[in-house]
Amino acid sequence: MTNNTILRLAIQRKGRLSEDSLSLIKESGIKFSSGTGKLKSTAQNFPIEFLFLRDDDIPDYVADGVADIGIVGENVALEKGKNIDHLKKLGFSKCRLSLAIPKEANYKGFEYFQHASIATSYPKILQDFLTRNNIVANIHEISGSVEIAPSIGLANGVCDIVSSGSTLLSNGLKEVETILKSEAIIIGNQQMSDEKKSILDKLIFRIESVQRGKNKKYILLNAPNENLDSIIKLLPGMRSPTVVPLADKGWSSIHSVVNEDDFWDVIEKLRNAGAEGILVVPIEKMIL
Ligand code: PRT
Ligand code: ZN
């Protein structure tokens, strides 16, 4: 770097986003110390500084420029975020924001919520949703333990984050509408300098290389030459598979990259097409 510009990234200090946020940074080859209790840390080999904060505070800090970028759930970015850019989805901390009601209640549609009272920590997202669906309801904003509101008579329903659904179930509630599907995202300040933007581009390039590798596997296999054509058809590779002759005459080794999702399918077809000695290797990073 020719100047001293540093990008400030706000990360959740302790909670569901922390571990995956830190792993992503580490997998991107950025070294730093993150001892417990630290509020700030500077990377040793990349112009970036970390602020460790409560997730609810991150959108404001980013909007104000105290931090340049931050990692939060989309639910928090939408609820608390004003004047911030949503820059990149990160694929972890997936959950949904849903409406739920007592499990014995009869649900026929949104009308259930007409003039009802709903407890939530997400009044803004909920109000937008209700307005879009022409529902007038009474929103009770509470900051925690939203799921107990119906059983103590505070509300007819809740609007809360759901992951496995077991919290709703154990509180006698059933999920009836999904308002938002959420995952961790990078949010950004809208007035970043060009120097900061160029550091951000480098960071995102690294993150994308790591993410791409995560959904792929590198595979190596041996096959008799007469089966090469049919095997190559099964393997897309980055451009096309690499084929290397083996010392054993009439045999070749083939190297390629396959998608995690169609992996078992492809392996089965390869075996049927005469492939042997198949090795599967994780990919750390994938640069296109
Ligand atoms: O202390 P700080 O304010 O920083 O953290 P926090 O307690 O506000 O947030 P935290 O760490 O709980 O969650 C951070 C983010 O993780 C959320 O904003 C979501 O984007 C995401 N996330 C993913 C979740 C869940 N899964 C989740 N299951 N956030 C909360 N929950 C809670 C939910 O509120 C409910 O109480 O888990 C319960 C439901 O889980 P299931 O599996 O029983 O359905
Ligand atoms: Zn929070």
- The pLDDT value given to residue 241: 86
User: Residue range 127-155: average pLDDT?
Assistant: 96
User: Residue range 270-285: average pLDDT?
Assistant: 93
Q: Are residues 88 and 196 in the same domain?
A: yes
- The pLDDT value given to residue 1: 47
Q: Are residues 131 and 270 in the same domain?
A: no
Q: Is residue 18 domain-resident?
A: yes
pTM of the model: 0.90
CA dist 112 to 24, 42, 108, 118, Å? 42, 51, 7, 11
The tens digit of pLDDT for each residue in 219-235 reads 999 999 999 999 999 88
To the nearest whole number, what is the mean pLDDT of the chain? 94
The percentage of residues in the chain with a pLDDT greater than 70, rounded to a whole number, is: 98
State phi, psi for 251 to the nearest 5 degrees. Answer: -120, 150
- The pLDDT value given to residue 273: 93
Q: Is residue 288 domain-resident?
A: no
- The pLDDT value given to residue 3: 73
Q: Are 63 and 189 in contact (CB under 8 A)?
A: yes
Ligand 1: which atom is nearest the Cα of residue 147? Answer: 36
For 122, the enclosing helix (H) or strand (E) is: none
CATH number assigned to the domain comprising residue 270:
3.30.70.120
Ligand nearest, relative to CA of residue 100: 1
- Residue appearing with tokens 């946020």: 21
User: How far does the centroid of ligand 1 lie from the alpha carbon of residue 255, in Å?
Assistant: 41
Q: Are residues 52 and 101 in the same domain?
A: no
- The pLDDT value given to residue 2: 54
If you take atom 28 of ligand 1, which residue's CA is the nearest one? 163
User: Residue range 64-74: average pLDDT?
Assistant: 98
Ligand nearest, relative to CA of residue 77: 1
Ligand 1: which atom is nearest the Cα of residue 18? Answer: 11
- The pLDDT value given to residue 139: 98
If you take atom 27 of ligand 1, which residue's CA is the nearest one? 163
- The pLDDT value given to residue 238: 65
Q: Are residues 147 and 254 in the same domain?
A: no
Alpha helices in 114-219 (DSSP H): 123-132, 166-170, 194-214
Which residues span the domain enclosing 167?
A: 95-182
Residue among 57, 95, 166 to mutate when testing ligand 1 (max atoms within 8 A of CB): 95
- The pLDDT value given to residue 37: 76
How many Å apart are CA 273 and CA 232, to the nearest integer? 10
Q: Are residues 7 and 77 in the same domain?
A: yes
Neighbours of 24 (CB within 10 A): 22
User: Residue range 158-182: average pLDDT?
Assistant: 98
CATH number assigned to the domain comprising residue 79:
3.40.190.10
User: Residue range 172-181: average pLDDT?
Assistant: 98
Q: Are residues 79 and 61 in the same domain?
A: yes
Q: Are residues 119 and 254 in the same domain?
A: no
Ligand 1: which atom is nearest the Cα of residue 162? Answer: 44
Total tally of structural domains belonging to the chain: 3
